[in-house]
A and B are shown apart, each in its own frame.
Chain A
Amino acid sequence: AQSVTQLGSHVSVSEGALVLLRCNYSSSVPPYLFWYVQYPNQGLQLLLKYTTGATLVKGINGFEAEFKKSETSFHLTKPSAHMSDAAEYFCAVSDRTGGFKTIFGAGTRLFVKA
């Protein structure tokens, strides 16, 4: 069975500071990994995904994430936070062998202080 753990339900950073949102996964088979963002009163939208190849994945709005198999992690980072980054972020995993199911973490709400 697959699962996702996001460390920290709330993270607060100052504008211009580094953003680091942590995600660890559990999977018995090589996973596909995703980060989605949810702005208030909206559905989720994809930030980035790791399927194969380069382990450092770049996404939209300056975000990137690195797949570390040895640590079973897929942490999301952004060098400099902007006020518009305030949202809820979800890490997700799906089974590379099929299953037709994407499993989401509990989410991390990011607050950005002026």
Chain B
Amino acid sequence: KAGVTQTPRYLIKTRGQQVTLSCSPISGHRSVSWYQQTPGQGLQFLFEYFSETQRNKGNFPGRFSGRQFSNSRSEMNVSTLELGDSALYLCASSLLGDSNEKLFFGSGTQLSVL
């Protein structure tokens, strides 16, 4: 069974641009969560999707948005990029998104904003 796939692996953008990151969950998993990882901050929760609906959202500005498609694939978008958006963005999937479920993580997309 294929794992969680995130594309692209690396991205370099300049301030003010926008970016779209993609995540394909494990087959059969319907919940997708997104996290921002920066050194010293750990993982900060961005949002969670299940059956194309956002069920929870972290404390990030509206420039960060996401969506989920009917095949459970998910994208996140960051508009008007700022230097502080440079981070590793991780996607995680689980079967139903229940609180006691194990999260399966992708290898992440490393975003650098210049």
Contact = CB atoms under 8 A, between A and B. Distances in A.
B55 A43 contact: no
B40 A43 contact: no
A100 B107 contact: no
Interface residues of A, number: 28
A53 B4 CA distance: 30
Contacts of A66: none
B102 A43 contact: no
B72 interface: no
A74 to B, nearest CB: 14
A32 B99 contact: yes
Interface in B91-114: 92, 97, 99-100, 102-103, 105-108
Interface of A: 6, 9, 32, 34, 36, 41-46, 49, 51, 90, 94-107
